[in-house]
Structure 1
Amino acid sequence: MSRKKKHHHEEHIDETWLIPYADLLTLLLALFIVLFAASSVDAQKFQQIAKSMSSAMSGGTGIMDFPSPLPEEQPQSANVEDAKNEQNENPDFEQQEKIELEELQKRINTKIEAKNLNTKLKTVLTDEGLLITVLDDVLFDPGKAIVRIKDQTLAMEISELLVSDPPRNIVISGHTDNVPISNPQFDSNWHLSVMRAVNFMKIVLENEKLDVRKLSAKGFGEFQPIDTNDTPEGRGKNRRVEVLVLPNELKDQQ
């Protein structure tokens, strides 16, 4: 009889020790989560780890079943919308920029009148900024990309009008008509338009008051005409250099 009792006792080992052991593991896990959250880690990573641990621990309600103490990350679209709202919330700044560009336009128009260049230089305020158009025969000989010596003074005078504080971004672009170029120096109208923009910009940048980091040059060839290419007059208007003075942005002032 005694042997049977002993054998029966060995088959049913007392497992009550597992309960405090499981509680201890839960407390350690909770401590780990608190320490992990307090270490200022990325909220998204924290939630991912929390979900993984929660799914691994099945049965009952534990610490992972409570809402995360960290705020959920806002969608990117919300951040983009906030940026747009910030710009819209500064109408005074935008209005001031418009006024300053209008003043710059007046100064340039005064210079145009004084030089009798009304048929050669044009200014217009666009949605992008102040656009100054210089017809190519004011600066270049036909098929050439070097600014004529007699017109370099005019280019420098234009550069003086572009000085501002803070400095503004300025884009200089070259344009041609659609007549194919037959010149060993240039293999396309696009090539000619780029070099005209670059050479004009070189003279402008001789003005040390301008920030070289704010200027850039582009060439569009015949692909952005402002008039017909079917008449000599229209082609003359399409051959031009444009100087676009961009408005300052609010972030540049902060």
Structure 2
Amino acid sequence: MGKKKKQHHEDHIDETWLIPYADLLTLLLALFIVLFASSQIDQKKFQEIARSFSSALSGGAGVLDFPSPVEQNNPKTSIPNKERLTKKQQEAAIEQKELREIQAKINQYIEKQHLQGELKTTLTEEGLLITILNDILFDSGSADVRPQDKQIAKEISRLLVMNPPRSIIISGHTDNVPIHNSKFASNWELSVMRAVNFMKVLLENKQLDPRWFSAKGYGEFKPVASNATPEGRLKNRRVEILITPNTATTK
């Protein structure tokens, strides 16, 4: 009787190990799901998932306590900030530096010639802008550059000789006082011809390539000051030279 009972006890299989084994498989499955999801989401979302799983699990440091695999494997988050810049951003930064150097050279000329009240430079998102008040270039109602002011235009042309060359846009602007004479029916036409004639004087410098130049006229439609005062109208009567950033394309 005792021997038969002992045999029955030995035939019983202990299955208690299945419980921790099942828990381990569940944890591994959760781990692989998280790792797969982390490759599809950004780092912020991964950290949120990691905190959620870590708070749900108890005891010890889990795999979710280690740095995000997205952060370790993503070159955009592991390389220095300077190296993260794209090629286009690096070229733009270099171009801005070169435009600032050109601006400094032009500002030196303006200061040397005591032309601070007539010329100014501004570095904008579009490029380097040189503003010239019309009153030092043209007589009222005329689009011809005054002979005594052609020298200023020629000196500016020498400042525009650059290597590599950049696209240069000449634009004419007027105040809102209507014009009606035998040559021009509107301020728009006057502003266009002033831009064209000023550009022609610049291009007398044979070191400049005409293919990089263009002219526009805006009339009174792009004022920089109020036309209600003589001072404001003076500021609006101007010629602008826009030196655009150099690009990979060539003309």
State the TM-score bracket (shorter-chain normalisation). Answer: 0.5 to 0.7
Structure 1: where are the runs of 5+ without partners?
1-86
| Deviations 1:3-40 (CA, angstroms, capped at 9, x unpaired) | xxxxxxxxxxxxxxxxxxxxxxxxxxxxxxxxxxxxxx
- CA–CA distance in 2 between the matches of 1:166 and 1:105? 16
Alignment of 1:53-132 (within 5 A): 88-132=86-130
| Deviations 1:55-114 (CA, angstroms, capped at 9, x unpaired) | xxxxxxxxxxxxxxxxxxxxxxxxxxxxxxxx9433322111111100000010111011
Structure 2: where are the runs of 5+ without partners?
1-84
- CA–CA distance in 2 between the matches of 1:222 and 1:235? 10
- CA–CA distance in 2 between the matches of 1:237 and 1:183? 23
Tell me the residue number matched to 1:208. 206
Superposed displacement of residue 231, structure 1: 0.2
The alignment partner of 1:250 has SS state of coil
Task: Give me the TM-score of the superposition, normalised by structure 2.
Answer: 0.65
The correspondence for 2:238, drawn from 214, 237, 240, is: 240
- CA–CA distance in 1 between the matches of 2:122 and 2:169? 15
- CA–CA distance in 1 between the matches of 2:88 and 2:170? 29
Tell me the residue number matched to 1:133. 131
Residues 177 and 236 in structure 1, CA contact (< 8 A), matched pair in contact too: yes
Tell me the residue number matched to 2:140. 142
Task: Give me the TM-score of the superposition, normalised by structure 1.
Answer: 0.64
Tell me the residue number matched to 2:28. none
Code of the aligned partner of 1:109: N
Code of the aligned partner of 1:106: A
Residues 93 and 250 in structure 1, CA contact (< 8 A), matched pair in contact too: no
Tell me the residue number matched to 2:229. 231
Superposed displacement of residue 184, structure 1: 1.5
RMSD: 1.4
Does 2:162 correspond to 1:164?
Answer: yes
Residues 174 and 221 in structure 1, CA contact (< 8 A), matched pair in contact too: yes
| Deviations 1:171-222 (CA, angstroms, capped at 9, x unpaired) | 0000000000132211000000000000000000011111110000000000
Alignment of 1:183-222 (within 5 A): 183-222=181-220
Superposed displacement of residue 118, structure 1: 0.3
More deviation, 93-102/193-202 = 93-102
Does 2:170 correspond to 1:153?
Answer: no
| Percentage of identical aligned residues | 58
Aligned residues: 167
Residues 121 and 135 in structure 1, CA contact (< 8 A), matched pair in contact too: yes
